[in-house]
Amino acid sequence: MISLILGGVKSGKSRHALALFEARRAVLGRGLILVTGQARDLDFRQRVTDHRLERDPAVPVREVGANLPEALAAEHGQKGVVLVDSLDFWLFLRLERGDADRAARDLEQALRAWTGPELILVSCETGLGGMPGHAQALAFARELGHVNQTAAALAHEAWLVVAGLPLALKKAN
């Protein structure tokens, strides 16, 4: 099963995703967290530390950066649950690398081929707040919209977290 958790910055989406992850890990056993963000400033380092303190230290965490599709492919056939935090930071890295325009397609291929454990994807929902008017920010928002729509179309369930409250957008059958 693939689950998608969307929300704005500091909406509680990662906390909700972690709660789902822990509940499913309790039943399925094995758990793995794939993180894509890279702490390049003091504020982001603090966010990484905060997330680390919220997680069970026994759960392995793999920093995959821009190589998310490859990391997902490495989990094919495994059991348990995998948490990916987050698609938006993955897209930032793809933008820096110059191949953000292929990100939605690469994610679609990875999700269509998914035979691994349960998968929980976290991403910021773009367009819920003000957007800077410069071309790079608009290009990022456009590509993140494609990435999120791709993930939502292939997900079995999707959630939007607002002010810490999860709202079910799509329920698993």
How far CA 153 is from CA of 12, 91, 139, 150, in Å, comes to 22, 18, 21, 5
DSSP assignment letter at 163: T
CA distance 158 to 167: 9
CA distance 54 to 47: 11
Catalytic residue among 51, 76, 134, 156: 51
- Tell me, yes or no, if 76 is annotated catalytic: no
Give me the residues paired with residue 63 across strands: 35
Q: Which residues are catalytic?
A: 51
